[in-house]
Amino acid sequence: MFKARNYEFFRDKAAFGWNFLFPFLIIAGFGIIFGGGGYSGFKVGVFPAGTESLSRADLKLPLKFADTEHLEFIGFPTLEQGLERLKHHKIDFLVRQGSPTGQYWVLESSPRGYIVERLYQAGLIPEGTFVGEKIAVEGDSIRYIDWLFPGILAMNMMFSALWGVGYIIVRYRKNGVLKRLKATPLTAFEYMTAQALSRIFLLLFTLAIVWAGSDLLFSFRVAGSYLDLFVVFFLGAMSLTSIGLLLAARGTSEEFASGALNFIAWPMMFLSEVWFSLEGAPDWVKTLSQFLPLTHLLQAARKIMNDGATLVDVSGQCLAMLATALACLVLGAVLFSWNE
């Protein structure tokens, strides 16, 4: 059964390609957006200006403001054109260059506008005024892509585990494959174990290929041990696959299975810090996220990759993933039906 499922994965060329291409495209896309020079934090409209593209040296704006990093200046010929863009949140701030009074426009409801406004006001403070004591932090900084990378890998792992096991088993039950297997001496536990092992192998295989390809492009930093990282991803794959098995324990409706899988997958993706941190989120959201194995996988992986943590440091997360896997496997085996 293990071998048969692997045949299916490797011979289904469309699904096989997509399993590798999807995470790679997301990582590459974010790498280009956040890693290249084309991205700026805030967009500042400037008028009157003859061209859209402006050189900082030619700006008739307070020097400190014009030199601020992470600001992109976009020229407009008239106030009306600039205001139209501002109202539609296409720019964060609008300023009249050469204005003796430093005239500017900002949307009261825009948090980004508020930040640029404060930057602009700081730019108006004369040179030499006390602005605080700066202490630069030395050492390797963690790029956003380094933080995001494990999230994308884990998210891909989650979708592949849930759909590759959950959806497929329901489909097999619906079209009678499981009924045919029931007529053999194969037990439900043996079948589920074969499915789980095959999926875990395929998840880790995919992970290794995507990792190697992405690392060639972005040189990800791994402060901790690769072996520890492997163990964490193995446990993550096991726990996510077990959830897929539990969801597929019964039922013959692919539509229902798809809905149930989405119901699990989407909250898990947003509450497990794949894309953004939950710092500052309400406590109940943080508590809820602790019940999701993806949260523990990501916390452990990021600690190992970014902070050089060891398995001992992430033992809590490992235990949580192991407990999820065992609970779901046992429950799934008890509830499993070949044809209902």
Partner 1 sequence: MDPILEVRDLVKRYKTVNAVNGISFSIPRGICFGLLGPNGAGKTTALEVIEDIIPPTSGEVLYDGAPKSPSFREEVGIQFQHTSLLHFMTVRETLVTFQKLYHKTESIDFLIDICRLRDIQGQMNNKISGGQAQRMLLALALVNKPKLLFLDEPSTGLDPQARRYLWDIILEIREKGKTIVLTTHSMDEAEYLCDDIAIMDHGRIIARGSPAELIRAHCSGGTISLPRANVRMNPAGLPFPYREVNGWLHITVDRVNTGIEKLLAMHVDLNDMKVHSPNLEDVFLRLTGRSLRE
Question: Which stretch in 6-14, 38-46, 55-63, 85-93 sits in contact with partner 1 by CB under 8 A?
Answer: 6-14
The residue among 152 and 169 lying less far from partner 1, judged by its C-beta, is 169
Per-state percent for the chain, helix, strand, coil, to nearest 5: 65, 5, 30
Q: Does 175 bind partner 1 (CB under 8 A)?
A: yes
DSSP per position, 134-152? --PPPSPPPPHHHHHHHHH
Pair of tokens at residue 200: 């875990």
φ/ψ region of 55 (left if φ > 0, alpha if ψ in -120 to 50, else beta) reads: beta
What sign has the CA pseudo-torsion 180, 183, 188, 194?
negative
User: Cβ 209 to partner 1, closest distance in Å?
Assistant: 20
Give the three-class secondary structure for 196: helix
* CA–CA distance, 203 with 193 (Å, rounded to integer): 15
Give the three-class secondary structure for 318: helix
Contact (CB, 8 A) for 186 and 265? no
Q: Does 337 bind partner 1 (CB under 8 A)?
A: no
Q: Does 112 bind partner 1 (CB under 8 A)?
A: no
Closest CA to 105 of 46, 42, 41: 46
Q: Does 182 bind partner 1 (CB under 8 A)?
A: yes
Question: Which stretch in 22-30, 157-165, 176-184, 286-294 sits in contact with partner 1 by CB under 8 A?
Answer: 176-184
Choose which of 37, 185, 280, 282 interacts with partner 1 (CB under 8 A): 185
Give the three-class secondary structure for 301: helix
DSSP per position, 225-275? -HHHHHHHHHHHHHHHHHHHHHHTSS---HHHHHHHHHHHHHHHHHHTTSS
Question: Which stretch in 34-42, 76-84, 184-192, 324-332 sits in contact with partner 1 by CB under 8 A?
Answer: 184-192
Question: Which stretch in 83-91, 104-112, 179-187, 324-332 sits in contact with partner 1 by CB under 8 A?
Answer: 179-187
Q: Does 90 bind partner 1 (CB under 8 A)?
A: no
Q: Does 197 bind partner 1 (CB under 8 A)?
A: no
User: Cβ 176 to partner 1, closest distance in Å?
Assistant: 5
The residue among 5 and 296 lying less far from partner 1, judged by its C-beta, is 5
* CA–CA distance, 211 with 219 (Å, rounded to integer): 10
Encoded amino acid at 106, one letter: V
Q: Does 177 bind partner 1 (CB under 8 A)?
A: yes
User: Cβ 183 to partner 1, closest distance in Å?
Assistant: 4
User: Cβ 180 to partner 1, closest distance in Å?
Assistant: 5
User: Cβ 169 to partner 1, closest distance in Å?
Assistant: 12
String of contacts with partner 1 for each residue 9-48, x by CB under 8 A? --xx------------------------------------
Choose which of 99, 180, 208, 227 interacts with partner 1 (CB under 8 A): 180
User: Cβ 307 to partner 1, closest distance in Å?
Assistant: 42
Contact (CB, 8 A) for 203 and 237? yes
The residue among 79 and 181 lying less far from partner 1, judged by its C-beta, is 181
User: Cβ 160 to partner 1, closest distance in Å?
Assistant: 17
* CA–CA distance, 9 with 11 (Å, rounded to integer): 6
User: Cβ 8 to partner 1, closest distance in Å?
Assistant: 5
The residue among 104 and 172 lying less far from partner 1, judged by its C-beta, is 172
Q: Does 172 bind partner 1 (CB under 8 A)?
A: yes
* CA–CA distance, 196 with 165 (Å, rounded to integer): 8
The residue among 27 and 188 lying less far from partner 1, judged by its C-beta, is 188
Contact (CB, 8 A) for 241 and 326? no
Give the interface with partner 1 as residue ranges (CB under 8 A). 1, 3-5, 7-8, 11-12, 172, 175-177, 179-186, 339
